[in-house]
Amino acid sequence: MIVVMEAGASPEVIEAVEARIRAAGLGVHVSRGVERTLVGAIGDERVLEPENFESMPGVERAMHIVKPYKLVSREWHPGRTVVDVGGAAIGGDVVQVIAGPCSVETDEQMAAAADAVARGGARMMRGGAFKPRTSPYEFQGKGIEGLRMLKRAAARHRLPVVTELMDVRTLDAFLAEGVDVIQIGTRNMQNFDLLRAVGRVDVPVVLKRGMSATISEWLMAAEYVAAGGNHRIVMCERGIRTHETAYRNVLDVTAIPFVKRESHLPVIVDPSHAGGKAWMVGALACAAVAAGADGLLIEVHPCPREAWCDADQALAPDEFASLMVRLAAVAGATGRFLAPAPDDRSLAPA
């Protein structure tokens, strides 16, 4: 931390600042300039709060110089983290695609969706069993039975599954059902009890950015998970809320290279929720990969017009297959490649 003293601050007030820093167990370095005196704290500055110094006589301002999100920052881990999910890597030189319907509806729908996901070349399957909805009267998901339907459908093609956890009380059920990746949705990005809970388990976590969250807030949410011991974290940009109303959200493409520079964690993008319209998904997905995204979370439904949730943004199977060809070209242009599909995609015995 650096404490900037006011012009003309007396030796006594400077000494008082020094004494408070030393009382916290840190060392002190004082730099006296022509107009200002800077008092620096040497050591783990996270034990100090800037506001405690800014209320002291003679202090102009105080600021941290070490990032508060230590465990997820490049300063702590300069290399790139690669998160392994059942042999499918998120991070590195691979662009991983996770696809599937917004919500789990029926066994027939999920089987058809799994076929489309595998045929298109995705390595992981998504599907919502518990659905956070703006209206309490809208479809809220199939719950635990939905988890089982998702697992049954994905198992036909040996696809790991990604699904959203909304309540810490259902975490044990997620673990019992063998959920491969736990998604923390935008509305729960700052549900700190939930973040602490997934930080205590050895299951990869996809952490979506809150709809109005800053990059720092998003990374601090990841820090909650990492602080619990779980470092298998994947950041997911899904569009933020701005003044614009022409489309659902604004995809913050700038966040992709910024977070990858700031943090060692992989970054994926959800182009479906960003645009909110199926015709936008392709352009946004290609832009995300071109900007360095490590993967994509794409909504695919066997019959989008019949989807029970977010029908406007879901791709049909043929649209998804066509997009995967385009994405392979974009990934190749950036020196990377789409994750190869499993060697054997044959259906498991009934």
Domain presence at residue 89 = yes
Domain presence at residue 194 = yes
Domain presence at residue 350 = no
**Both 138 and 20 in a single domain?**
no
E strand or H helix at 107: helix 107-120
SS3 321: helix
Lowest-confidence segment of 60-69, 77-86, 167-176, 250-259 by average pLDDT:
60-69
**Both 191 and 323 in a single domain?**
yes
Residue type, 278: A
User: 346 falls in which pLDDT band (50, 70, 90)?
Assistant: very low
- Tens digit of pLDDT for each residue in 184-200? 999 999 999 999 999 99
User: 1 falls in which pLDDT band (50, 70, 90)?
Assistant: confident
Domain presence at residue 73 = no
Domain presence at residue 113 = yes
Reported pTM: 0.83
* CATH number for the domain that contains residue 185: 3.20.20.70
Candidates 203, 195, 186; CA nearest to 167 is 195
Lowest-confidence segment of 101-105, 268-272, 285-289, 343-347 by average pLDDT:
343-347
- Spatial separation of the C-alpha atoms in residues 247 and 272, rounded to whole Å: 11
**Both 149 and 234 in a single domain?**
yes
Higher pLDDT, 31 or 314: 314
Residue type, 32: R
**Both 329 and 259 in a single domain?**
yes
End-to-end CA distance of the chain: 62
**Both 89 and 33 in a single domain?**
no
The domain of 56 spans 2-63
Domain presence at residue 261 = yes
Angle at 293 between CA 92 and CA 133, to 5 degrees: 125
Which pLDDT value is given to residue 74? 86
Q: Which long-range contacts (CB under 8 A, 24 or more apart) does 104-107 make?
A: 104/128, 104/129, 104/141, 104/142, 104/146, 104/147, 104/149, 104/150, 105/142, 105/307, 105/308, 106/149, 107/149, 107/152, 107/153
Residue 175 φ then ψ, to 5°:
-70, -40
**Both 117 and 56 in a single domain?**
no
Are 102 and 94 spatial neighbours (Cβ–Cβ below 8 Å)? no
**Both 107 and 246 in a single domain?**
yes
With a cut of 90, say whether residue 78 has pLDDT above it.
Answer: no
Burial of 101 (0-12, 13-18, 19+ CB in 10 A): buried
Task: Mark which of 35, 63, 91 sits at the end of a domain.
Answer: 63
Q: How many domains does the chain have?
A: 2
- Tens digit of pLDDT for each residue in 20-75? 999 999 999 898 887 789 998 888 787 899 999 999 999 999 988 777 788 899 87
